[in-house]
Structure 1
Amino acid sequence: MSTANRLLNVLALFTMDRPEWSVEEAATELDMTLSTTYRYFRSLVEAGLVAAHTPSRYTLGPAIIRFDRQMRLLDPLIVAARPVMRRLARELGPHIWVPLCRLYRTDVMCVHQETLEPPDLANDFERQPVSYGRGQLMPLHRGAPSKAILANMNFRLVRPIYDGDPAAMAAVGLGGNWTEVKRSLRALRSAGAVITSGELQGGMQGIAVPIFDQQVVIGSLSIIMQQSREMPPRETLVPRLTEGARQIEEIMTAAASR
């Protein structure tokens, strides 16, 4: 493994479940020598990616916030999607969330959201009873935003994910074998939109459409709401979401050609 990969593995240790590490703990977890691990921590501290919480324990550093701000302001997908999502949120009214998700390795991540909820909720999405908070990782096979992406991926990329946990896809009705899964994904792809209820979090329902870049799926545009509320009719909602996704793609294409 290269030095760069080892350094990234150290950074990847810092998660929501375990946000603090000592050098000794990291060395044991990654099966590296203590001297090498110290060297990597020193490099991460100098870059601001890791900071000392106490003399012997470390957390993520302020550089993460700097990069996050840059993503919020300058990421082409977020910049293109923000006005479209705000319009959808205004048109659909309160108590509806409009998340923007993108493919991240073998998961899906929410990278932006819009809602007309009161400010204390709208500004702190992670406190809401919804799993689509910014930075939240979600499995590719659960929930409308994820399935909209999965259904439009090349099957050569989907097959290793399926092989890694066939039971997970069977549990959400995608099929008991690879042939059935492919058939289910083709049907979702042909439908153009995915609707799910309670797959990722009980009490919530969602509808999502894919977003493409150069004919390759990169993310999804969704509407999430409580199951207790009546979802707008599919025949009116899907065209609005689809139009929004196409507008996002057009804005990104136009920006890239400048």
Structure 2
Amino acid sequence: MTEKSESSLARMLSVLDLFSDQQLTWTAEAITEALQVSLPTGYRYVKMLTEAGLLQRSADANYTLGPRIIVLDHYIRMGDPVLQHGVAQMQELVEQTGLDCVISCLYGQQVLDTHREFGTTEATLSYGRGRPRPLFLGAAPKVILSCFTPAQLHRVFDEHLDEIVQAGLPTDWSDFRKYYSAIRKAGSYFSNGELEPNLAAVGVPLQKPDGTLLGAISLVTTVPRMAVIDLPKLTQRLTRTAQEITARIP
């Protein structure tokens, strides 16, 4: 494949990045304008992606993401080693605690929930599978970032300073690093109304013995219910589950 064809392929696939919570449908003309390509090129991209099932055309001539993505998501679930070895452990933890259990993973610099087992108390979480979570709010993202090397964390600090300010985190690099070092030393993070005002969560990293970071596992419930739970005991139980899951992953 030539450099030109690689560039064209990358630009065509970038059509998929245009879709978001704020804009779920696009016309071929709007896609062309957003990518700043010629109209024939934009139509060709849309045609090829539609034929591949990655886009589909609706009755009003708009395009949405296509059914092939649902199929690919199924394969992702089936092939995810964390889910292969972790779902049964999550279900057992839910039976023991009655709380929701969530596994979150890092993809590039996006934290995504990949699976959730529901407990006995309704805890409505607006961030489900596939919807990127804020990088600096909540238990799962914070324990994940706490496992970064200083160089990795510094890169995140440099690239997301505005979000760090909005999250109320230290804006001095030294203090920012100390903040996450403290979470790493504790081995867990407790979030009380931080991501959503009615929810509390405790999270621990999913990290293999060799240091490989796989994500995070969290227990989530309402703020009032968490207030009457023995948090240290709950954190110990969650930590054991995380260790059991990572021990099973080759």
Q: TM-score scaled by structure 1?
A: 0.87
RMSD (CA atoms): 1.9
Task: Give the deviation of 1:138 after TM superposition.
Answer: 0.7
Aligned partner letter, 1:147: K
Tell me if 1:210 matches 2:205: yes
Tell me if 1:220 matches 2:225: no
Aligned partner letter, 1:97: D
Aligned match of 1:110: 113
Tell me if 1:39 matches 2:44: yes
Residues 167 and 6 of structure 1: CA distance in aligned 2, closer, same or farther (over 3 Å): closer
State the Cα deviation string for residues 77-125 of structure 1 (Å, max 9, x = none).
Answer: 11111011101111111xx21110000221200000001348xx7xxxx
Distance in 2 (alpha carbons) for counterparts of 1:117 and 1:233? 18
Tell me if 1:245 matches 2:237: no
Aligned partner letter, 1:115: F
- Which 10-residue stretch deviates more, 132-141 or 43-52? 132-141
Task: Give the deviation of 1:217 after TM superposition.
Answer: 1.6
Task: Give the deviation of 1:167 after TM superposition.
Answer: 4.7
75, 94, 102: which is aligned to 1:99?
Answer: 102
Tell me if 1:26 matches 2:31: yes
Aligned match of 1:233: 230
CA contact (8 A) 2:101 2:119 kept: no
Show structure 1 runs of 5+ residues with no match: 122-127, 254-258
Distance in 2 (alpha carbons) for counterparts of 1:167 and 1:207? 26
Distance in 2 (alpha carbons) for counterparts of 1:195 and 1:159? 23
CA contact (8 A) 1:99 1:132 kept: no
Aligned partner letter, 1:248: I
State the Cα deviation string for residues 201-224 of structure 1 (Å, max 9, x = none).
Answer: 111111100012441222100011
Tell me if 1:13 matches 2:25: no
SS in 2 for 1:141: coil
Distance in 1 (alpha carbons) for counterparts of 2:220 and 2:36? 42
CA contact (8 A) 2:102 2:113 kept: yes
After superposition, residues 49-68 of structure 1 pair within 5 angstroms as 49-54=54-59, 56-68=61-73
Tell me if 1:139 matches 2:134: yes
Residues 140 and 51 of structure 1: CA distance in aligned 2, closer, same or farther (over 3 Å): same
Instruction: State the aligned residue count.
Output: 243
Distance in 2 (alpha carbons) for counterparts of 1:117 and 1:57? 41
CA contact (8 A) 1:196 1:206 kept: yes
CA contact (8 A) 1:22 1:57 kept: yes
CA contact (8 A) 1:140 1:149 kept: no
Aligned match of 2:169: 174
